[in-house]
Structure formats: structure tokens, C-alpha cells
Amino acid sequence: MEKYWNKVTEFLSLNEDTTIKYLEDCDADNLYWISEVFEDISANLKSQNFIDCLRELDKKFPGLEMAHDIDIAESYF
């Protein structure tokens, strides 16, 4: 499982714009799983735009309760 998460993190850390676009197009299920590595992606991207995107997605999918994960991700850069 860790190998999978490392690959996801690596892929989503390659390009900020592509990552943001991908996340904006994700459905709730995919976003839920990806939220597990928000902090790792944030540590790699070091981007306020990434955090802003996550905050917008939290509004779009309030049932996912991602605010705490996003706060942690924000602290990583």
C-alpha cells in the first residue's frame, strides 16, 4: 500500500497546474482517497494555489470533511 501512495504522491507532485486540474475533475470517491496524501503533495509543491484548490474542493464536497487534512497539508510548506 505504501508503494502505491508513494507513486500517487510522486505523480501528483510533478506539476502543480496539472495536479490542480486533475483534483478539480475528481469525483468524491477519488478525492477521498487522494486526501490521504495531501500533506505529502503539499510538502513537494510548496504552493498556496494547491492549498486554495483543496479549500475549494472542501466546499464542493463538504461530506468528505477534509478541512483537518488541508490544515495539516498547509503546515507542510
Domain ranges of the chain: 2-75
Q: Tell me the mean pLDDT in the region 44-49.
A: 98
Quick check: 45 pLDDT over 80? yes
pLDDT-wise least confident of 1-5, 19-23, 44-48: 1-5
Quick check: 9 pLDDT over 80? yes
CB atoms within 10 A of CB 77: 14
> Sign (positive/negative) of CA torsion 34, 36, 42, 43?
negative
Look-up of cell digits 483537518: 68
Q: Tell me the mean pLDDT in the region 9-23.
A: 98
Q: Which residues contact 54 (CB under 8 A, 6 or more apart)?
A: 23, 38, 66, 70, 73
pLDDT of residue 1: 67
| Euclidean distance between CA atoms 76 and 70, whole angstroms | 10
Proportion of the chain above pLDDT 90, given as a percent: 91
